Structure 1
Amino acid sequence: MVEARERGVRWLLSQLNVDCSISPYDHAIGSFYRLPWAFAVTGHSWEGAMLLEWFRRNMFNEEGDFAGKYSREDADGMYPYPNSNLIYGAHLLRQFDISQKGMRFLLTLQDKEAGGFYSRKDNLGPTGEQDIWVSSQAGLTCLLTGRLEAAIRVGVFLEMMWNLQPDVEGKLYHVYSKKEGLIREPRKCVDAGAPAQLYFQPGIAAAFLSRLYMARPERKYLDLAKGYIEFAMRCSDDKLSRPQVRKTGWGAGLVYQITKDTRYRLYAMRVLDYILDAQYPEGHWVNLIASSTRPERHQSIETSAEAIVHLDHITASINVY
């Protein structure tokens, strides 16, 4: 595991420009947002700080939004997600001007009533959609930066989403709006009986709820975390051949760490085995999509940084006895 992590981070470091930025810059937000986090957990603080300096100069404004010289169009539909990841990495790297100012902006995207985070910056009203995945990562970032009340609101949102499910044994609808409530569309649903699903939706929910339970040990958070991760574990075995499964290992590992129930540890280890097996000899990972068998370089950078972060998550949690 250590060897895989080191090989992966060496590949990421080889993609850096002299100033530790990564081009093409139009993918800085959509694809490179998790790099500071990956560098932080692998001991490359200087490279992470230098990359954040590039963001500070080029893609970070006075409001605390990651916007500026280059497009972030490829992230518009998940607006809080790259922001949350960049803030998380910045906080780990002790770049507190970015993390604190970034949090002030991020919190403007939270629905204070429902508790979720709006997926689009340009639709914060009744038709604005709030998503389990996007909101859970924002909640994790709230926890890391000390915004406990905002994180608790995300917990309220995930509890509401769970209770609204019409068939939680078989399907997890993951999008909500004030106007429609739970949006019951096939493309906004994880179907446990079908292949090629968005397995990360229940996975990251379980990870966030586990962390929230650590911060505020109320039984309902742990019960919800178990509910979400057990849904993920019920999903088609196809999941263990797809990178979308990695967050389920994160969630299962944390539930194991809290409960010491070895079912969750064994599942997390299966996900870990998949991550290790999927690494290319050069050190990177890919996220193959239906339209392409040769992902572009920026896509490999994104999925490799995520793999390294999840190696850190899973190995840390499953080795707590």
Structure 2
Amino acid sequence: MTGPDPGFAADPLEKRSLGEHIAAHLQELLLDGRLKPGDTLPSQRDLAQRYGTSVAAVREAISILSASGVLDARPGRGTIILPVTQQAPSINLWLGAVHDEHEARAFLDTRQALEHYTIAQAARHATPEQHTDLLEHLHRMRDAQGEPEAFIQADLALHMAIAHAAGNPVVLRLLRAIHMPLANLLRAISTDLMLAGRFPHLYTTHEQIIHGIIRRDPHAATAAFDHMLDQTTEGGTLERALGHPERPDPPLGPDFLEDLHWNLTRLIGPMADVLIPEAASELGLDPDALTRTHLTRYLGNLARQLPDGKQAEWTALSSLLEKRYG
């Protein structure tokens, strides 16, 4: 490779999943132009020295990128970066794990947006044959509750089956692209979930997702997904998985409920007395126990239950409540 050194090992690498970290860093060099299609990488031994790691870790990274169609590694000829037109359509542009809490939450928010779409589309368009396939995946998840890795793989396979049923190939490719970091994140929190006895509850919420899809009820199916996401991150699970101390998340308290009740009553009248506890109950919560962690989903759940014509005003009110209490 000619030209200036593109900056191998520009950032210190963590001491786990080194092959994945190296693969991710090589892709960063490619994406920002420091490596270009047609370039030949240094030898594996040279890369190992530059990254300060073993040849085996470099070999793993090259295998990952070769399988993704980014590299063409041939004995005696070196490792060449392929042109984009020759790269596999399933190329994964995000490899490795999510370790930063802010990035993890942003990652889960992005996943939620994608899965809301696929779940709703599957509820509208899945065929009877796809319903059968979803139930088979669900049964595999049920049977794997005692084995964390098998449970994670069954979970991921179920969500990919939902994406297939949604019928949008672009969204399917996006979900494939986040498959590896999602699997790593689930592995990080699985021990905590198993010790807390949450696997059966997670299975139940997945069952509700699938049954909502089969009933062609996108609202029920996406609400079940939101509940599932809450179950996997509440109680400091995410912080502990990422090695950070749990931050206090006390209930929002009576001031929030009074503020909410006043604003919602002004908007829809006495119906507020029904919707406030009902929206919390759908998330498996008590209004008095709502915390900052639940706030966005709770207000969103309220929005879905408001009468037509009240959405615009509620958007402004809920934004105000989030700023005040979030």
Q: With structure 2 as the length reference, what TM-score do the two structures score?
A: 0.29
Q: Name the structure, 1 or 2, with higher relative contact order (CA <8 Å, separation 6+).
A: 1
More helix per residue: 1 or 2?
A: 2
Q: Which one has the largest radius of gyration?
A: 2
Q: With structure 1 as the length reference, what TM-score do the two structures score?
A: 0.29
